[in-house]
Structure 1
């Protein structure tokens, strides 16, 4: 018996610390005996839940734990174990919460079951004013859980209260309201709160706690009561797009419920919605009050078993045309067109407002009615009316225009009796270049044709009333400029100047002025200048064959300012000639097996391959004498010439374009083979070509291999063997593949020359193979196979010919 008592006592002593820490880390008075290493997952779960209920973290309670006897080492262990537990169970906890209740918690800890409804876009009724309020998923009118608890909130089963005692004594708990409408507080007992406001319930709870906690009675401790979790109520919606029973927040309002139901149905009213409470109409709701004025007085809070009834509309009208918000509008009895115009946000800036056209429906047919502006407040729209607001006319009732040589040409307002001098005064007078002898008025006549009226502008401005004629609406007055009557003079300069081209002529313009204007002479300018001048004469002289007058001058080529200046005339063409000898050094490139590869300047006008190679140190011992070639850049003009040539091919054939593209993008160089052995023996040999700027002489290094590429089984390089022919090297790489075209195989020699396979009757001749050459086997062209029908057609033709021959020889 003693052993049993001892064991039970030991168990009690050991479990007290764990229960203490599990009950509340902040409320325990002595934490020195806690064995953190023996805490279970359940203990850690309780600690984590208590921290969350107090809206604190483990770091925030560190000083409290240390002050109550826990060592720093034990607290660090507790912190690590708690973090590991939360990392391990955090995801599962979130998932369970989502699946269990779909709850959402605000940043203040208040919770509410999540209510969702998929929005269905009502495209058929999109024009009905107010429908967009319920189609937009971002406008859900959900209650804000961050707001303070309303003091008039009525408690009921499903609500949860957060009761806290703080001060000398401490207590904190989340207490749900039971189905009987009561809450249970430890050591206090049950308190009935259902049907009470949160304010009245708070007073009742505080009084009950004060009877148990002496410090509350004395004021040393305080009591706080707040709403933790909000209950869900059930309401019914009739007549909406998605009618039915809905479970929503007890803080939800009428607009929140209507949004969940998708708003009124196809024929539902937006202006006479009924909120029925206890089988009586509690409130009539007009959504237009909110849409037009922002008035939310109808957006009342719902209660359990409320019914929202959406009846069918009484009358709807349509507003089309030039209003700010066209659409279909619901009207109440007694509302006028002015009210309808207010719903549509008024006319836009282009609306014709003097009269409105209304298309009405009678019992048998349609009729049209006009509503004048004075009747807007008295005309009562009828169901089915279609109001059409048209645009104002694209014309002006008082516009007049002046253009030309005045300081402010523009449109101006026209008044009766206005004269041309008045209009010029409004345009701030004539410019200095104005032509005062004549002005023009283009006038629109009554039959909509136009006429021109000429005005003596000088006389009109001097006070002559006969000349200062009256203007009419839509007149266009043109004041001419004397500059309009002058020819625009130009001179042209070309040749060795920095910016050749056509320039404006001025009186007393000299050659020096023009040369400075174009940036001066270039370094290649010679002393010779040729000026071509226009010949003017009233009589034709057939004996004089000259078309122009040529003037030749000599200038100082290295000076823009000439001693003897020459005055130019309109339309002169000046040409500064180039020096006879002025050529910048140009280079070619030598690469490969030469003594000094690099770039070399063309020293002579006819610099040959031999001269440049010898200047480069001649060939080295590893040079391939048969592998010398010249790569010459393809010039733009050569490509342009090819594009201009008519190849006599169809328009759809892309051959010419492919050739030009290949020259531009792929080849870029033309290859010229060089026979060095012949050049050494004879300097006049045709291989000793004259070089052009940009040429590159390539001297290949001697290579004893022969490359075999193309449609062969193995692309490889075979060692050269003297006496072996073309077939030997093709067989050495395994022969050709299934697509290889052997009879069209060719060879490229090291100097760029090429040779092809030839055939005569049944004999085929292959080109000679040399070291460092390349054998290429091309691909066979694709051939279209004949179909069975084509074979049958050929057979029938052959049979017919055979029958014809047999018949002919009978």
Structure 2
């Protein structure tokens, strides 16, 4: 029976809270019954948390646990369990209890508080009012920090909770709430009234009461610690805010925290005359501008239960627009001046005209405009409704002058009275070597903002002639010409068998050899013949001379890019390097399929034909289909260009030519030329024995006894060839055409690429002959738009009208 009771007591101890278990481990007088094997992962995690909270390591706790009866073996097990990582189950529990974890973190610092949330309403109506953004920012909520030490002047009240601990020779630990009567009840000590007392005074009173019960406290052998573990909630009333009402907030909360919860002042609420009422008296006048402008939080006082925050209507507001750093609507107090208003707006910005400010005022009947000079800023007192406008400075310069052209430092410089042209050139580090000294130009702005040109003789001005060295005006633009501006830009053209044909700059003493080297040298196909064309220059027209250019025929050594005799070129000469009379690189064709030696073959002559290449490839193999020889010829870019240049007169919106061009470019990369091999073998001069072009591919297909049927048929298939069977047999063998098939337009493609279509004569339709390896294709019927009822009725009406006209004419 005793064993059963002991086991029950042990299990009961294991299911206690982490705080109690930690006390058992660190402060209990008897740990002899503790069995680590019965502890769960959650219990181990709680022990670990409590050790960390008390800043005690497991090594520091070992002598304490052994002195209280815990065996060394059990402590070793406990140490091993504490060193193990956190299990996955515990992690899941932590994820599911985030709010509880937050409370535990707060408890670790000694205080807890119910979280108070109020949904914010974005202020769009009063967005321009200075200070309104303070209450729209969720990160600026002025919530009290529960992790800081409790203020010594904190006044206790019902709802607070104290943590009372006695440690030393005698030990005691309890959480005691402050009752509604304002008292705390401590075991063996009794009830102690603490309401209305500061935390410091209550601590002294509780120590005195405990000392009367615990003798070691009076003697100093035990110590008493009192801290605030849970903070009460107080109720305050906010009047005149965007969200007025009663709010339950922390007893540590301040005025700004309450104003944030209430959304700040309402539409017409004051930001500068907010009243904090306590016991029906004005306890504090709050001016939010002190915080907004200077960061001064002297008005952010703590709140008490039943406090009232009253936000009256504003007395006067003014608007500040234009070139200030923080434009908006500002609230002014009596006696404040325009300088104070500027400080609220953080002053003028970089582009503001600061000499005066324009203000739009309201009288009892109409508006009026007033200008405030800079000297009046500290004396002018804004009136309610004033609209101040700060304008920009003028986009002009009071002392600008500019020089460009043939000087070393063309730029904009500062102008001063008495500045002359020589002074400005000296500022620009003087004239460049190519400067044209006979004349310089000044573009001058006249008093009526029109411009005029003033010419200067630079040589005289810089030589000391005061008349030529004229005085400058502000905004003058001086241009110094360069002699290079008057020189024509000469070019030389070279073309033909040269590596870099093109247009090159001409230089004096440029020779043909220089130009050949500059253009990368001759190509391998260049001949020794060079033609130079030179322009004819003359002051008089010579009608007897029909020549437009003078030609020079020269010879060069193509191997070393040098001319036998150096030839000097002139501006605008055109040089042509001629090509050798015979210079053609070997070109190839390809043969593939059922031939003995498939591959690429060089065209040995300009008139190599199909038969020649097939013979060079060893002839056809035994499996070759003699009716399946064809040539695939690549479509050249010039063919597509020629097609694009042809005008088919189909109209701008017709897409036939566009589709044909697109098909040639993207779909059809080869043109197929059928070859009648039987005829070629009998007579090599047959017209299908065509002359081959570079890039052609001769394709010889292997013999295939099947006939492929595709297109709009029920089953695409390949039917074995049967001699004497026609179109109908093979189409019927695949189930016939489908509902979109157009049988009368069916066609056949033979193995050599030749095609044939069905024909009709006097209602008799004949289909082309079917051969082995051919392909029958049934196209799709074109879509025909059926006539609607409305269209039919319209046509019938037109016909009826025509009939009536004809009858009338006959009569």
Is TM > 0.5 for Structure 1 vs Structure 2?
Answer: yes
Cα distance between partner residues in 1 of 2:517 and 2:110? 84
Q: Which moved more, 1:641-650 or 1:314-323?
A: 641-650
- Residue of 14, 17, 29 corresponding to 2:10: 17
**1:230-241 alignment, distance < 5 Å:** 230-241=231-242
* TM-fit CA distance, 1:685: 2.0
- What stretches of structure 2 of length at least 5 have no aligned partner? none
SS in 2 for 1:551: strand
- What is the match of residue 295 of structure 2? 294
- What is the match of residue 517 of structure 1? 518
2:385 aligned with 1:394: no
Alpha-carbon contact 2:590-2:696 (below 8 Å) kept: yes
Cα distance between partner residues in 1 of 2:794 and 2:161? 94
Alpha-carbon contact 1:159-1:176 (below 8 Å) kept: yes
- What is the match of residue 3 of structure 1? none
* Structure-2 change in CA distance of 1:252 and 1:750 (3 Å): farther
* Structure-2 change in CA distance of 1:566 and 1:165 (3 Å): farther
- What is the match of residue 530 of structure 2? 529
* TM-fit CA distance, 1:190: 5.0
Cα distance between partner residues in 1 of 2:86 and 2:192? 36
Cα distance between partner residues in 1 of 2:583 and 2:174? 104
Alpha-carbon contact 2:337-2:381 (below 8 Å) kept: yes
* Structure-2 change in CA distance of 1:795 and 1:206 (3 Å): same
**1:470-549 alignment, distance < 5 Å:** 470-549=471-550
Alpha-carbon contact 1:18-1:34 (below 8 Å) kept: no
- What is the match of residue 759 of structure 1? 760
**1:734-745 alignment, distance < 5 Å:** 734-745=735-746
Q: Which moved more, 1:219-228 or 1:482-491?
A: 219-228
* Structure-2 change in CA distance of 1:585 and 1:381 (3 Å): same
Q: Which moved more, 1:731-740 or 1:30-39?
A: 30-39
SS in 2 for 1:611: helix
**1:192-591 alignment, distance < 5 Å:** 192-205=193-206, 224-562=225-563, 564-591=565-592
**1:611-626 alignment, distance < 5 Å:** 611-626=612-627
* Structure-2 change in CA distance of 1:807 and 1:761 (3 Å): farther
Cα distance between partner residues in 2 of 1:373 and 1:638? 81
- What is the match of residue 157 of structure 2? 156
Cα distance between partner residues in 1 of 2:163 and 2:511? 101
* TM-fit CA distance, 1:806: 8.7
* Structure-2 change in CA distance of 1:719 and 1:401 (3 Å): same
Cα distance between partner residues in 2 of 1:175 and 1:685? 120
Q: Which moved more, 1:546-555 or 1:519-528?
A: 519-528
Alignment: residue pair count? 797
CA-atom RMSD in angstroms: 3.4
**1:704-743 alignment, distance < 5 Å:** 704-743=705-744
Cα distance between partner residues in 2 of 1:109 and 1:196? 19
SS in 2 for 1:329: strand
* Structure-2 change in CA distance of 1:218 and 1:442 (3 Å): same
Cα distance between partner residues in 1 of 2:170 and 2:776? 103
Alpha-carbon contact 1:104-1:114 (below 8 Å) kept: no
Cα distance between partner residues in 1 of 2:665 and 2:211? 99
Alpha-carbon contact 2:675-2:689 (below 8 Å) kept: yes
- What is the match of residue 629 of structure 1? 630
* TM-fit CA distance, 1:619: 2.1
* Structure-2 change in CA distance of 1:297 and 1:546 (3 Å): same
Cα distance between partner residues in 1 of 2:374 and 2:705? 105
* TM-fit CA distance, 1:201: 3.9
Cα distance between partner residues in 2 of 1:187 and 1:48? 33
- What is the match of residue 141 of structure 1? 142
SS in 1 for 2:673: strand
- What is the match of residue 675 of structure 1? 676
Cα distance between partner residues in 2 of 1:116 and 1:350? 44
Cα distance between partner residues in 2 of 1:30 and 1:579? 116
Alpha-carbon contact 2:712-2:740 (below 8 Å) kept: yes
* Structure-2 change in CA distance of 1:694 and 1:120 (3 Å): farther
* TM-fit CA distance, 1:72: 6.3
Cα distance between partner residues in 1 of 2:739 and 2:690? 43
* Structure-2 change in CA distance of 1:187 and 1:568 (3 Å): farther
* Structure-2 change in CA distance of 1:563 and 1:221 (3 Å): farther
Cα distance between partner residues in 2 of 1:756 and 1:342? 94
SS in 2 for 1:713: coil
SS in 2 for 1:415: coil
SS in 2 for 1:652: coil
SS in 1 for 2:444: strand
Cα distance between partner residues in 1 of 2:770 and 2:285? 106
* Structure-2 change in CA distance of 1:448 and 1:36 (3 Å): closer
* TM-fit CA distance, 1:205: 4.9
- What stretches of structure 1 of length at least 5 have no aligned partner? 1-6
* Structure-2 change in CA distance of 1:205 and 1:570 (3 Å): farther
Cα distance between partner residues in 2 of 1:172 and 1:752? 104
- What is the match of residue 692 of structure 1? 693
* Structure-2 change in CA distance of 1:798 and 1:108 (3 Å): same
* TM-fit CA distance, 1:158: 3.2
Alpha-carbon contact 1:104-1:112 (below 8 Å) kept: no
* Structure-2 change in CA distance of 1:772 and 1:380 (3 Å): same
Cα distance between partner residues in 1 of 2:595 and 2:219? 113
User: Deviation per CA, 1:770-793, whole angstroms, max 9, x where unpaired?
Assistant: 222222222222222222222333
Cα distance between partner residues in 1 of 2:729 and 2:802? 48
* Structure-2 change in CA distance of 1:111 and 1:669 (3 Å): farther
Cα distance between partner residues in 2 of 1:150 and 1:89? 35
* Structure-2 change in CA distance of 1:231 and 1:704 (3 Å): farther
* TM-fit CA distance, 1:798: 5.6
